[in-house]
Amino acid sequence: MEVFVSRRLPREGLAALAQAGACSIQQWDSDEPVPRAELLAGVAGKHGLLCLLSDRIDKEVLDAAGPNLKIISTLSVGVDHLALDEIKKRGIRVGYIPDILTDATAELSVALLLAACRRLPEAVEEVKNGGWTTWKPLWLCGYGLSGSTVGIVGLGRIVPLAKLAEESDFVVVTCSLTPGTEGMCNKDFFGRMKKTSVFINTSRGAVVNQEDLHQALVSGQIAAAGLDVTSPEPLPTDHPLLSLKNCVILPHIGSATFATRSAMAVQAAHNLLAGLRGERLPSELQL
């Protein structure tokens, strides 16, 4: 069995593959994304593929892989980078990692929420640039989390989206990116939010209409925003959102703890190995 690994992994993940002795490994050994041509060449004839959320696995890649490909293991919870209809048509199984990231991403969501509502990046900058002259009663005041209403988009189906936007002091988006959720947080959505409310997105960037978010922040329709995901990624350094003091943007680090990333890599390796052997995957996406 031959597999292609599309990125440099935490050593525990690669060790799990190597120690199993079930496959020969070809790897794009870099922290940077595999170039498209290298991806197409790398998957050719392979039985397994271990990929990342930044790898677009479409019909072209599947055609390049050929009929041997039986398992795609993605180092992610989200699967919007995978051409699932085409994958299903070819009888290829998909492994993903839906549970391991939960705690780390939840922690980051709270950290991002507090950073945005309490204006922490602004405060750090004022310390660095000499703006901190004395204690001032109204300087750098923000909004507190205690006693507030937090609406979580993606937690369940109980609350209509419009009602959640209208009643929440904080809106946290955690849902999957699907055709139904793409661009869901738009002008109408932000228009329903309170002027004192804070918007947080730790799901996928394309869930948000970023032009509408920019306008909502500039006009004061909402108080602040915190984003761990954008569209595209990375966000261009001249993007209008990056010029706003009331918008905190992080480089998609929701799962970025050493323990979580190692566990993700090991799970992805086990999914790949099980798929190669025709066994039950630890976490299989039902297509």
Q: Which of 47, 81, 252, 270 is catalytic?
A: 252
Question: Token pair of 228, please?
Answer: 């761990």
Q: What three-state secondary structure class fits 194?
A: coil
What 3 state SS string does 199-261 have?
A: EEECCCHHHECHHHHHHHHHHCCCCEEEECCCCCCCCCCCCHHHHCCCEEECCCCCCCCHHHH
**Radius of gyration for the chain, computed over Cα atoms and rounded to the nearest angstrom:** 21
- Of 170, 181, 174, the C-alpha closest to 224 is 170
H helices, E strands: number in the chain? 10, 10
Question: Token pair of 22, please?
Answer: 């079930």
Residue 77 to residues 97, 99, 109, 142, 164: CA-CA distances in angstroms?
A: 5, 8, 16, 33, 25
Residues in CB range of 264: below 8 A, 6 or more apart: 10, 13, 75, 97, 100, 101, 255
| Residue 252 designated active-site | yes
Residue 238 to residues 115, 229, 243, 244: CA-CA distances in angstroms?
A: 22, 16, 8, 11
For the sheet with 247-249, list strands across it: 150-153, 170-173, 198-201, 224-227, 247-249
Question: Token pair of 184, please?
Answer: 């869901």
180: DSSP letter:
T
Instruction: Give the catalytic positions in this structure.
Output: 252
